[in-house]
Structure 1
Amino acid sequence: MSSQPLRKVVVVGLDGLEPTIVEAMLARGELPNFARLSGDGPVARVATTAPAQTPVAWSTFATGVDPGGHGVFDFLRRDPATYRIDSGLNHYEQKSPLLPPKAVNQRRGETVWDVLSAAGVSSTILRHPCSYPPDRLRGSLLAGMGVPDLRGGFGTSTYYAVEPGAAGESENVVAIVDDGRSPIATRLIGPRNPRSRADVTADVKLARSPEPGVLTIQSPGEPRELQIREGEWSGWLKIKFKVGPLQSAHGIVRFLLIRRDPTVILYASPANFDPIAPLFPISSPPEYARTLAEDIGRFHTAGFVEDHNGLINERISEEQFLAQCEDAWRERRAMMERELSRFDSGLFYCLFDTPDRVQHMLWRFREPDHPANRGRDANPALAGAIEDHYRRGDEVVGQALDHVDDRTLLIVMSDHGFSSFQRQFHLNSWLQREGLLTLAPGGSGEFLQGIDWEKTRAYAMGLSGLFLNLQGREGRGIVRPDEAESLRRSIAEKLSGARDEERGQVSIHSARPREDVYTGPYVDEAPDVVVDYAPGYRISWSSSMGGVSDGPLHEDNLRKWSGDHCIDPAAVPGVLFMNRPFRREGASLQDLAPTILAALGVEKGKNMKGSPLNP
């Protein structure tokens, strides 16, 4: 890096961009703005984290340390005392029933914007994962992945029909009475009452409009009458849920009218915090979210914007999922343009999550033999949907380049790559077969329930590894502390090189004791053994939630969630582009925070492990 500090650093995050797809599209001339950055050189890789998960990887980007230094190891975590599974991104603490709950960020450590703030340099941070509750900083921050919906979860939708059937994943169902003529009285489901845990609802009516295929939602919200058209996403309905005598929760909801006649079928998005009046602060300063919404319009605030659960539950189609993804792109680009147009110094960061979500849900269309295609009609029009979103990413790069001058460092990057997810490995079933996990009579282990803890030495939950049932840590632990290291190494050795005999392939490249993977003050919170799956494989849906399967150890993944990156990190590096020369060999996510700080003439944080990538 030149001895003259730069004035601005602009970071554009495109979550999950896969280097091999970028390279192929560059070779075909389909990414002109990426080509402006790469020149004639190859696409640089940036080593991701173990595990290669969005919240883990971006937390390392922000802090310059591995997960042992920032404490985020997975989307999920467990309370070892109770074996209760919870979010790995944040949690709520309530010291007294008389006091409101307080959100606590699971990501710790000093971020690049912390260091810049201490040096008097401002930052604008848009939708960085694990930034809820929002960090105080010199500048502005809008929290990203980790912000809950109004019910406190990752995203709970509602499905309305005369015969809605059973609820799917993260879904409420509401049965309606519809004679085909009269207005339908029903309700929107909002937050839970913090004391009774009962659903707080708001009454609405659904009335057919004279125009065919149009329904009007009548409510006390804004607007009072919201017209929605069959097959199209509506605008936002602002609605207030009365939680108590002196407390209300303001939410915003969108609708998809799946069918109007002969009887109504309606889909409602998860209720998001209203950015103009959020239940908990989602930005720093707290009024920043309101200011942003007043300038660009209301926007999704929940950490998971793209409604993948609606597609998983087959309530919405792939085309309707992609239409909602388009809205996500428009929102984020509007935010980015607003901020870049007034950005004159410091750090700017904006994350576009959508490429990751599209690849998770539509990877199967790249592979005709993917098990998730079985029994479903092929749609050749969707075969190029992933590449379409890479082209949208290229447009974002062009938008950023329009705001770059000769004193700006532009970084365009992904946190990890992507791969297929065709087969799942039942890790808890493997532990059971090895005599390390025992179910109580009649137990399934789902959500870590029904396990005989007096006879269990190890168990799995989350996407990245397994835990010992350790004395003094787990509530009913039986593994003595002096046994722990040898047991970790024994399990890791047995898992490494595990084979899927049905396919004749290795399903687990390696498994590693945590002390071989992590350093820092939070290593004790990490999984005891980290499992590096081979491309095409991943931990099973059941084992990730603490379940034990009765069938074979390996099983086809039949879900629409058909691509993934929770595999051997060496197999899914991210991409890295800069508008200035940089060290391409050996670049890792830990190097980005030091690179940003060096560019702005600020010394790196005392705990940061990486090194600047620019000369």
Structure 2
Amino acid sequence: MEKVIVVGLDGLEPRLVGEMLRRGELPHLARLSAEGGLGRVATTSPAQTPVAWSSFATGTNPGGHGIFDFIAREPRSYRPDLALNRYEQPSPFLPARVVNLRRGQPVWDLLSSAGIRSVILRCPCSYPPDPLRGRLLSGMGVPDLRGGFGTGTFYTTDPAEAARESEQVVPLDWPGPGSGPIESVVIGPRNPKDRSDATTPLTIDPRPDEGRVLLRTSGTPGELELRPGSWSPWVRLRFKLGLLQGARGIVRFLLRRLEPGRLELYASPVNFDPMAPPFPISHPDLYAADLADELGLYHTTGMVEDHSALVNGRIDEAAFLSQCDDSWREREGMLSRELHRLDAGLLYCLFDTPDRVQHLFWRFLEPDHPANLGLPPDPEFVGAIAETYRRADSAVGLALEAADDRTLVIAMSDHGFGSFRRGVNLNAWLREHGLLALRDGEGPGGGQEPDLRQVDWSRTKAYALGLTGLYLNRIGREGQGIVPPDEAEGLKEQIARGLSGLVDPRTGREAIRGVDSRERAYAGPFVEEAPDLVVRFGAGYRVSWSGSLGGVSAGIFEDNTRRWSGDHIVDPALVPGLLAMNRPFRDEGAAMVDLAPTILEALGQPAGPAMEGRSLLR
């Protein structure tokens, strides 16, 4: 074969696909199944998007590429940190640079060495972009202009409104109709010199009698009309950072509420401007701009959909799905563009939206889900996940339409999905068992301190941080470690025995199926960077919200009442991904590490020397 097309469908759940196939709702996946086969593919430990797609790209387990979670920690300070990339500035006289923390050799690097072109669209952990023979647009890992995964801004006339998770709140002084325009600002990046907020002017002109708001900006376009519930087009802005320095970004607005005396406006995270990003997001550098020239401005953040805005109640479900539709159209346009140009080599395109929709809309599949707060699910959104699967099937159809008899088409997800009904606070369990202590005067609940800053390290032997990780407070590794090397293995075994099989007393269900040491879970050059222990949660359970950032709650278990009601960070055996090809393949025992060798064999190349998997082609 001369061409391989991979359509990544993040989070597609094999059980739901099977049900829809039986109802005849996914014709393109049905065709793939008939031509080659359809099965399941084992995900990684943990079953997380950046971890799994990094194993897809490199053909290694996480110990071979170094991505173990979204969240890591700096062991000397215990500070939570993003685990996908970091920024370095060796000298104040040199510009900062981005370092990709995904190591290993991706499949497109091996293909480039063999003179074979690749086009990689939005693969996680590809920021900064890898140089390759071909084109690449970075995916998950690209931040917003403030450096976060997605920091929106909520403008409100309610003086009591406080900022919620991953957002900023800007108060508005508007007595009501007839009082004239409101002068405000769009908040942009932090100034690297003093960490102050860079801003650009924004004038908000409410006209409630006309059911609209006029916005005037310093960017392009300079004036916008907003009506409730509809997203604005992208606005290109420049933020001044110094005498000769600035940063360009793009932002969209949504009018949430317009009543006499009350105004609510939401601004999306400020994305990198693809025409002038502050750091490269594509290879070649101008590829991102070429896409914008041809297709129009598009989301560049690694987490496209504004999930925090929906969780915080700043936008509603209809607005969120409207944004998801925009994301689909952007990605479909990119895929179609590259399919028309593909004559040989590898084309990979990831559609993230199925994952985001399931996270936020799983509660509509379960009338008794705690996130429904005792109310019946809104029938308008009961079918949202199924509609997302039909849209995913259409993306597979684009690939099949472009394929010929020299083309291997692969459609796959990195993990499956399930319900998230109850949270488990691992630090509360450690505290209850005398392995973690709080400072004098600090009580559980995370009220005063949101993370590990409330911990008394002189009396703490272990702590949890991230979505599945537990760490020992080791002497010589942690900043205030107390666990000597000769006690480490015994302590790990003690914790693993105590947590494995943990039962939720309210439900009688197994909340934790098992706990693995990192030596058991991983192999390779980066094992020492992994958590000491990796927790495998049971179906319906996940680490609690506060626990993911090191918080200590009063109780071990809690209902998940957030809109984020579905998840996949459980025992990986419970959430395999979906795998379909238009050629017969070995589906028994298939794993994410097998995909890179499969692609290489299809294109006539041997597997890379570090790759652990083997080709699935028969």
Match of 1:513 among 517, 541, 545: 517
Q: What corresponds to 2:246 in structure 1?
A: 248
Cα distance, 1:258 vs structure 2: 1.4
Aligned partner letter, 1:232:
S
The residue identity in structure 2 corresponding to 1:602 is: Q
CA contact (8 A) 2:500 2:513 kept: yes
Aligned to 1:302: 301
Aligned to 2:586: 583
Q: Retained in 1: the 8 A contact 2:36–2:584? A: no
Q: Distance in 1 between matches of 2:423 and 2:258?
A: 39
Select between 100-109 and 371-380 the one with higher mean Cα deviation.
371-380
The counterpart of 1:538, out of the listed 542, 547, 572, is 542
User: Aligned equivalents of 1:313 and 1:361: distance in 2?
Assistant: 12
Matched, 1:180 2:177: yes
Separation in 1 of the partners of 2:148 and 2:92?
21
Which 10-residue stretch deviates more, 279-288 or 367-376? 367-376
Q: Unpaired runs of 5+ in structure 1?
A: 1-5
Work out the CA distance in 2 between the residues paired with 1:137 and 1:434. Answer: 51
- Report the AA paired with residue 176 of structure 1: L
Does residue 469 of structure 2 align to residue 460 of structure 1? no
Tell me the CA shift for residue 91 of structure 1: 1.1
**Is contact 1:500–1:506 with CA below 8 Å preserved after alignment?**
yes
* Alignment partners' CA distance in 2, 1:321 and 1:121: 39
Taking the aligned partners of 1:533 and 1:210, their CA distance within structure 2 comes to 50
CA drift of 1:95 comes to 1.6
Write the distance in 1 (CA, Å) between the matches of 2:21 and 2:64. Answer: 36
Please give the alpha-carbon distance, in whole angstroms, between the structure 2 residues aligned to 1:294 and 1:363.
37
Instruction: Establish whether residue 154 from structure 1 lines up as the match of residue 149 from structure 2.
Output: yes
**Residues 19 and 43 of structure 1 are in contact (CA less than 8 Å); yes or no, is this contact kept in structure 2?**
no
Q: 1:545 to 1:96 in 2, by over 3 A?
A: same
The percentage of aligned residue pairs carrying the same residue is 59
Kindly indicate whether the alpha-carbon contact (under 8 Å) linking 2:72 and 2:82 is maintained by their aligned counterparts in 1: yes
Aligned residue among 192, 195, 212 for 1:194: 192
- Give the root-mean-square deviation of aligned CA atoms: 1.3
SS in 2 for 1:361: helix
Q: Which amino acid aligns with 1:465?
A: G
The equivalent residue for 1:326 is 325
CA distance in 2, matches of 1:268, 1:442: 39
Q: Please say if residues 442 and 450 of structure 1, whose CA atoms lie closer than 8 Å, have aligned partners that are also in contact.
A: no
Query: Is the Cα–Cα contact under 8 Å of residues 363 and 565 in structure 2 kept in the other structure?
Result: yes
SS of the aligned residue for 1:341 comes to helix
Say if 1:337 and 1:606 are closer, same or farther in 2 by CA, change over 3 A.
Answer: same
| 3-state secondary structure, aligned to 1:257 | strand
Deviations 1:557-604 (A, max 9, x none): 111100000000000000000000000100000000000000001111
Match of 1:286 in 2: 285
Report the CA distance between 1:454 and its aligned residue: 1.2
Q: How far off is 1:212 after superposition?
A: 2.0
**Aligned match of 1:523:** 527
What's the CA shift string for 1:312-342, capped at 9, x where partnerless?
A: 0001111111111000000000011111111
1:47 to 42, 51, 66: 42
Q: Contact 2:339–2:402 at 8 Å: present in 1 too?
A: yes
Q: In 1, distance between residues paired with 2:198 and 2:472?
A: 40
Residue aligning to 1:599: 602
Aligned length: 609
Regions of 4+ moved over 6 Å: none
CA distance in 1, matches of 2:485, 2:604: 46
Q: TM-score, normalised by structure 2?
A: 0.97
Q: 2:208 touches 2:259 (CA, 8 Å); kept in 1? A: no
Deviation at 1:365, TM superposition (A): 0.6
* Whole-angstrom CA distance in 2 between matches of 1:528 and 1:234: 47
- Show the counterpart of 1:3: none
**Where does residue 608 of structure 1 map in the other structure?**
611
Q: What residue in structure 2 maps to residue 79 of structure 1?
A: 74
Paired with 1:83 and 1:98, the residues of 2 have a C-alpha distance of 29
Q: Is the 8 A contact 1:489 1:512 kept in 2?
A: no
The C-alpha deviation readout for 1:237-285, integer Å capped at 9, x for no partner, is 0010001111111010001011233233211000000000011111111
Partner of residue 169 from structure 1, selected from 165, 172, 184 = 165
Structure 1 partner of 2:106 = 111
Structure 2 residue aligned with 1:373: 372
CA distance in 1, matches of 2:52, 2:419: 19
Give the whole-Å Cα distance in 2 for the aligned partners of 1:484 and 1:241: 50
Instruction: Give the 3-state SS of the residue equivalent to 2:350 in structure 1.
Output: strand
CA distance in 1, matches of 2:343, 2:209: 50
Q: Residues of 2 paired with 1:211 and 1:284: CA distance?
A: 49
Deviations 1:39-73 (A, max 9, x none): 29974000000000000000000000000000000
Tell me how far apart the structure 2 counterparts of residues 561 and 173 of structure 1 sit (CA, whole Å): 21
C-alpha distance in 1 between matches for 2:336 and 2:589: 33
Give the secondary-structure state (helix, strand or coil) at the position aligned to 1:488: helix
Structure 1 stretch displaced more, 255-264 or 28-37: 255-264
**Separation in 2, partners of 1:319, 1:170:** 21
